[in-house]
Structure formats: structure tokens, C-alpha cells
Amino acid sequence: MDRISDTSDPSDTSYFPRWTLRTEGVVAPGERLPTAQTIVLGLQHVVAMFGATVLAPLLMGFDPNVAILFSGIGTLIFFALVGGRVPSYLGSSFAFIAVVIAATGYAGSGPNPNLGVALGGIIAAGLLYAIIGLVVMAAGHRWIDRLMPPVVTGSIVAVIGLNLAPIAVKGISASAFDTWIGLATIVSVGIVAVRAPGLARRLPILLGGIAGYLLHALCANGLGLGKPIDFSAVAAAAWIGWPRLAAPVWNAHAMALIAPVAVVLVAENLGHVKAVAAMTGKNLDAFLGRAFVGDGLATIIAGAGGGTGVTTYAENIGVMAVTRVYSTLLFVVAALAAIVLGFSPKFGALIMTIPGPVLGGLSIVVFGLITATGGRIWVQNRVDFSRARNLVTAAVTLTVGAGDLALRFGDFTLGGIGTATFGAVVLYQLFRDTDGPATAGPDPH
């Protein structure tokens, strides 16, 4: 991998970089491209985040327009908190899906009637996340490494996908037609991910979803084989208008159920910042606490207005890896573009026409990828499963989460993902002094 030659002033101690101009080669976070190129590459980051950021709210019954709007606002908040020195985009987090569905009883289609209850929980998660960030700013991040080593974080991430699997399968099981459309969507995503040329390979959810959508329209609207897509709402919607904001409802049960997602977001954000640091050749540990606080504040503000909880996006990290342009100004452009899309009711109405089996097929891929990401964390950090502590921690966590084991304490119920999350941390700490170090190799951090 090419090393970055950062031409920015090393003596620059200002809060934001000065973004020196660079017209060729690898572009560092503190550098910038000419204005036209910055705008074009910034819009490319909008495309990269689009598929997942829209899919997550649809699976929870949120308004995708509002989610896109707050993804842009959240990205600007993150940019400000890290002083424009960590290139990252904040989009809808899939870690919230299972707990939001459990807390609201969402049926899986249309607007979520208990949206406010979910928003209160999302704010609670954002608050806990921001508090963790403040602790990291004061005490460093090593305590997170000790509390949640790779065997724990991998298990927690994998459990999210496994817990959601029944919802995804149900989404393509209503009829034979739905099943075949869902399977065709899955294959389309796979073909894009494996066979598509260049940057298109980085957009499998978006392009695969479009393929599934067009196939459904051909078979249902054209050939009459299934329920046709209704475009009347799209025709009636205005091009520009205010997004449909929503207010939170303070429900103690939902807040306690959703708040632990902050633990997953910490692990996710930690991994993303480390990945960006590896690509840029710059140590970004000093910004970890500020990154957590920025992500937490963005989640709080999103929850206050009807948006989904947000997290740093691997899709955009992938785009940076391909283009080798890490300028943080690209994410200002992307954020502003997302905010503009949030004020287009016609755009939101078009998103709402995505057929259920297409969403179901995309869900199977996305939830499977989440599960596989947990395994990837184990592999990359060389977790040794010949050690009983690691094996027991992972085995119990996966089974409890996949089986959705709930713990009841009087009127309070902790859902499967919460039980698995806390169980993984507790089990590892309980057994950590009996079986040697957590990984077979050196500390990955």
C-alpha cells in the first residue's frame, strides 16, 4: 500500500486542518483536491452510503427521507467534533434493527406505529455512547481493549446478524413469487459484489437492489405475476418539502433495551478508525474519544427528530481505499448532498415503493454480512478457539443471541441481543484469568 505524503503543514496546531491543495497521487485527510473534483468525489460517497442508509430505516419502519437527512447532519457533527481530521461518513446503523423491532413490536412493513418509543431508546444509546467517548477522552481507549477483546466484539457483531435472520427470511416467504424475487435480488447483489467492474463492485446493495426492483416491476407490473408497484404516491409528492420529523417517547423498557447498542457502536467505530489509520499511515488514537462523542451526539440528535441511530460506514472506507483520496472535505460535500435529499418528499415516496421481497432479499445479504463480519474480526485478530475461554464465550453468546433469549427482571425484559452482549463481556471477564491471553498473536491494537 502506498504511503501518504502529507503536504499539510506539520506545525499546524489549529483545530481544523488548512487543507493544502494536491492535484495528483494519494490525497491525505489534511489536503484537498480542486473544487470540482472535491464535489464529484463527495457525491460518490453519497452513492456509497445510500443503499445501506436507506435500507435500515425501511426495515424498522422509519422514514427514509428523515434518516438520510440526519445522516448528513450527523456527518457534519462528527466532522466538527474530530476537527476535520478523521475522514468518515455516518449512516444508519444496522445494530439498532433487532432491538427497535423488539421494543416497538414492528410488523415489518409500512410506518412504525411506535416510532416515538424507538426514538427514546435511540437517544438513550447515543447518550451512553457519548459518555463512553468522554471517558475515553479522559482515560484513553486501552480499557475498551481489555473489556471487549476481539473474541467478545466478534461474537457481539455476529449475534446481531443471527438474531435478525428470521425477519429477513420472513420477508421473502409470503408467496412463491416473493421467494423467487428475493432470491433473484440476493443473486444480483452477489454478482455485483464479485463480478462488477471498478467502483461498481463497492455498491452491491444499491445496484443489486435496483436490479431486484426492476425485475419485480417487469414481472408484477408488466406480466401480472405479483402485486404491482404503486407509483401514485410518487406522482403526488412534491419535489421539495419539509421532512416528516417525529418526537421521542420516553419508555423506560425501550430505553433499557436499546441503550446497550452503544457497546456495539463503540466496537464498530473503534475498528473503523483503526482501518482509516492503517490506510492513511497516521495514528488517529488521539481522536477516538472525540469520534465516539461525535457519533453519540449525532445519534442523539437523529433520535430527537425521527432518524435512525448512526455509525461510521465501512462502505465509504472502501471507497477511500479504492480512490486513495482521504480528504475530509469530501465528507462535507457528501453530508450537504444528503441533507438536500432529505428535503425531497418525491425522493422519499420513491424509496417507499421498494417491494417487500426485494427488501427481504437485501436483508438476507446484509444480515448475513453482519454475521460474517463477526467471524472476520476473529480471523483478523487470530482468536484462538482451542482455548476454552474463547470457545465458551463465543458459543454461548451466539446461541443466546440467535435463540433470542430474554432475561426478565420484574417488569423489565432484556432482549436477546442485550443478553448476548452483556453475557459476552461477563463471561470473558469471568474466565479471563484462567486461560491465557485472548488472542494467539500480538495485541491487534
Please provide the DSSP assignment of 214-239 as one string: HHHIIIIIIT-SSPPP--HHHHHS-S
Per-residue pLDDT of 344-365, as tens digits, reads 888 878 887 888 888 888 878 8
Question: What is residue 442's predicted lDDT score, i.e. its pLDDT?
Answer: 34
Question: Which residues, given as ranges, of the chain have pLDDT below 70?
Answer: 1-12, 199, 202, 322, 409-415, 432-445
Question: What is residue 234's predicted lDDT score, i.e. its pLDDT?
Answer: 86
Question: What is residue 411's predicted lDDT score, i.e. its pLDDT?
Answer: 59
Helix, strand, or coil here: 363? Answer: helix
Question: What is residue 201's predicted lDDT score, i.e. its pLDDT?
Answer: 72
Question: What is residue 438's predicted lDDT score, i.e. its pLDDT?
Answer: 45
d(CA 296, CA 136): 13
Tracing cell 424509496 back to the chain, one arrives at 351
With contact defined as beta carbons under 8 Å apart, do 353 and 140 qualify? no
Q: Mind giving me the DSSP string for 392-421?
A: HHHHHHHHHHHTT--EEETTEEE-HHHHHH
Q: Rounded to whole angstroms, what are the CA distances from 91 to 105, 269, 389?
A: 24, 12, 35
Question: What is residue 144's predicted lDDT score, i.e. its pLDDT?
Answer: 79
Question: What is residue 66's predicted lDDT score, i.e. its pLDDT?
Answer: 94
Q: What element of type H or E holds 408?
A: strand 407-409
Per-residue pLDDT of 43-71, as tens digits, reads 878 877 877 788 889 889 999 899 999 99
Q: What are the domain boundaries of the chain? A: 29-367
d(CA 340, CA 65): 10
Q: What is the pTM of this model?
A: 0.76
With contact defined as beta carbons under 8 Å apart, do 266 and 312 qualify? no
